[in-house]
Chain A
């Protein structure tokens, strides 16, 4: 299984600012994903990060709010732009070897917007 590292693990941010979360995988992977999770609740897919092309966003999530980069097969970033308290959440990076394959997750980045 892939080992996934996320940075930062935790941050407190001022409303109106933007924060970029980094996700590093210890091996080349086909697919990378970004999920959001309220504490104690389930995961909601934000987008699939595609290497060499724009990310594929889920309904309710837009590129202007959550720009994503995927410069190579081991790295991706998610930016949470113009943050508001409603963006306070855990953001999780996942990776898999391909469509329908097991997704492994990083430890998450816990953002609190004040």
Chain B
């Protein structure tokens, strides 16, 4: 099993602050995905990163895939209360059939 380690596990910040969530592994992945989950909902895919060093932006969210494709980060600029939720990184194991999730980062943005 390829373990995905996310940090921090919990994050509580004020509206307008910036933050970064990390997802690390000792394994190399062909791609890595970030999901966000709000209470009472299923996880919703935010982005898939495929190429080492790739940077993708989704409004105030910036996703980066490490050069060696072993790690990824999610940076949120000027966080808003609507960004509150559980952020999960996920990657397929080598066989490609099993999607493994990180432990998740519970983000709370206070008004």
Binding site for B on A (CB under 8 A): 1, 4, 31, 33, 40-45, 48, 58, 92, 94, 99-100, 102-108, 110
Contacts and interface: CB of A to CB of B under 8 A. Distances in A.
5 contacts: A1-B45, A42-B101, A42-B102, A42-B104, A107-B40
A99 B96 contact: yes
Interface of B: 30-31, 33, 40-45, 48, 86, 88, 92, 95-104, 106
Nearest to A44: B101
Contact of B88 (A42, A104, A106): A42
Contacts of A103: 99
A12 B106 CA distance: 26
Contacts of B43: 43, 92, 105
Nearest to B100: A45
A107 B42 contact: yes
Given A41-B104, A42-B103, A104 B98 contact: no
A91 to B, nearest CB: 10
Contacts of A105: 42-44
B88 A43 contact: yes
A43 B43 CA distance: 10
Q: For the complex of A and B, list the 8 residue pairs with the smallest distance between their C-beta atoms, beginning with the closest.
A: A105-B42, A100-B96, A99-B96, A99-B97, A42-B101, A43-B101, A42-B104, A107-B42
A45 B98 contact: yes
B106 A102 contact: no
Nearest to B6: A42
B103 A40 contact: no
